[in-house]
Amino acid sequence: MKVLITGGAGFIGSHLAERLLENEHEVYIIDNLWTGKLANIAGIQNHERLHLVVDTILNESVMNELIFRVDHIYHLAAAVGVMNIMDHPVETLDINVKGTEVVLRLANKFKKKVFIASTSEIYGKHVEHDLSEDDNRVMGTVKKRRWAYACSKTLDEFLALAYFDEKKLPVVIGRLFNTVGPKQTGQYGMVLPNFVRCALLGKPIIVYGDGNQSRSFTHVYDVVDAITKLMDEPAAEGDIFNVGNSHEVTINELAEKVKEMTESNSEIEHITYEKAYGPGFEDMQRRCPCIEKINNLIGFAPRYDLDAIIKSVIDYFKE
C-alpha cells in the first residue's frame, strides 16, 4: 500500500513512517520542517520505499500529486506545542484549518481514506470525569489565545465528519492525549522532555502553575499501534476515538518521579503561567481519557505504563 503522512518528519509522524516501512508499505512524507526535523527521519531517509517532499500542505499542486499517488493519508501536520501556539496564533489557525481543508478536499477528489489527528484539547476545561468521545466541550473565552488551537482542531473534526456524511469520504478521527517518547523535544513546551532534560543537566525542573493540574501520558509506540489499527478497521470510519492512557498523574507528581528516576539533584520550582507564556493563557485542570470505545473496537490497551514511558525518554536524552 502507498501511504502519505503529512507532518511525517515530526515526532509522531516519523515513528509512524518507520512502522509503515517495517510493514512493507511505500511511504510518502510531506513536511515544511517548521517543527519537524530531518534528524527525526535520518534512520529511514535513504530507504528505497520512502519519498520525502519538503513543502507545505498549503501547496495544492504538490498535495494534489501526492494524494493522487497514495491509498491512505495520515494527516498529522499541524501547529504543535503550547509555546508555539501562543507565539504564532496566525500560523496556528492557518495550518490547522486551511491545511486540513486542503487535505480533505483533495482526498475527496480521489476518494482516498484519511486519518485526522485531533487532540484532547478539544475537551477544554472538563474536570468532572474521564473524557469520552461524546462529551460536550467546555471552551474558554476567545480572548484567551490558548483556545484557538482547540477550536481549530474542533473545526477540523466538523469538516472531516461533514465530508464523511455528505461526500461519503472514508475518514477516521483520533483524539491524541499527550503523546510522548523518543525524539520528542521540549522546544515548544512539551512537559516530559523538558523535565527529563533539566533533571539530567542538574537544572531546575520548572513546573507551571501550582502543579496540581493532572494529565495522562501515552507512549508514541502505543499511539502508532492505535492509529494504524484504526485505519485498517472499516467500522472506525466516520467516527472519533480517544487515543491515550487512562492513568492520571499530577504535574507535581510527574516532576518528582522524573527527579527520582534520573537520580537528579535538581530543584523543583514553580512559576506562574503568565511568566511562562505571557498574557492570554489559560490551562485545563484535568485531561484524562476514557478509552473504552477504542478498546471495544480494536482491543487497544496501552502497553507502556508511566515508568516505562519516562525511562524511554531518559534513555533517549542520555543517548
Catalytic positions are 149
DSSP reduced 3-state for 57: coil
Check if the beta carbon of residue 314 is closer than 8 Å to that of residue 262. Answer: yes
Q: State the amino acid at position 229 in one-letter form.
A: K
- Distances in Å between the alpha carbon of 83 and those of 24, 146, 187? 37, 10, 8
Q: How many CB atoms lie within 10 A of CB 140?
A: 17
Q: Can you name the residues that pair with 114 across neighbouring β-strands?
A: 73, 171
Q: Can you name the residues that pair with 74 across neighbouring β-strands?
A: 5, 115
* CA angle centred on 119, ends 117 and 124, rounded to 5°: 155
CA distance 10 to 190: 14
Check if the beta carbon of residue 222 is closer than 8 Å to that of residue 302. Answer: yes
Grid look-up 467546555 returns 138
CA distance 284 to 140: 10
Pairing of strands 214-215, 249-250: antiparallel
CA distance 102 to 160: 11
